[in-house]
Amino acid sequence: MASAGEAAGSSRPRHVAEAVDAASLLAAQLEQSFQIRVGDGRPPPSWTEQSEIRRHLGAHGRTADAEAYGSALGFLPLRQQLARRLADQHIRTGEDNILLTFGANHALDLVIRAMLSPGDTVLVDEPGYYPLFAKLTLAQVRMLGVTRAPEGPSVEDLVAKLASERPKLFSRNRSVTIRLAVRPRPRSRTPF
């Protein structure tokens, strides 16, 4: 019988077996040859060809086809607008090089997965963004804190860590700077 930490019939730890199973499902979602894609949440197009919603959307110049969820890169008109704004700042990129995320945590997760490997070193603000620390720990990345002063990272500490380490990234959290720079107002002696 498999121990609590191992998957039944496998010598792999349970969390590894579950991760492999999840990865297999994710890969199957991308497979285009299935009539119904795993985890897609949509019926095959043939089921909706004569549907009321398809007729309604078609009357307004929209479609209800396999692309109804849009691009995985995000809403195209917004990516085009961002590309134009970046061009105004002399940053040349196309909308196909812009990826929209669901927020900072999603963006951080994508950066960690794409750019870091277990054992890599990353410099982080100290104090910093604790959800990032959890993500880096899960990715088995070594974190080194860079001391912060009210005006930003300590230049001396940053230079010292850059000289002694080979970090792949330095993650900064500007909102920490703002919080550290705000000093409480002295209290008035009157209650109002």
Q: Could you read off the pLDDT of 10-41 as tens digits, one per residue?
A: 577 765 665 566 556 556 555 555 555 545 55
Angstrom distance (rounded) from CA 64 to CA 57: 7
Domain residue ranges in the chain = 12-28+36-69, 71-100, 104-181
The H-or-E segment that residue 105 falls in is helix 104-115
Task: Tell me the pLDDT of the chain averaged across its residues.
Answer: 74
Angstrom distance (rounded) from CA 111 to CA 136: 11
For the chain, give the longest Cα–Cα distance.
Answer: 75
Q: List all residues 6 or more positions away from 94 whose beta carbon is below 8 Å from its beta carbon.
A: 83
pLDDT 10s digits, 33-46: 555 554 555 566 66
pLDDT at 191: 53
Residue 69: φ, ψ to 5°: -80, -10
pTM for this one?
0.54
Band of the pLDDT at 7, cuts 50, 70, 90? very low
Look at residue 54 and tell me whether its pLDDT is greater than 60: yes
pLDDT at 81: 95
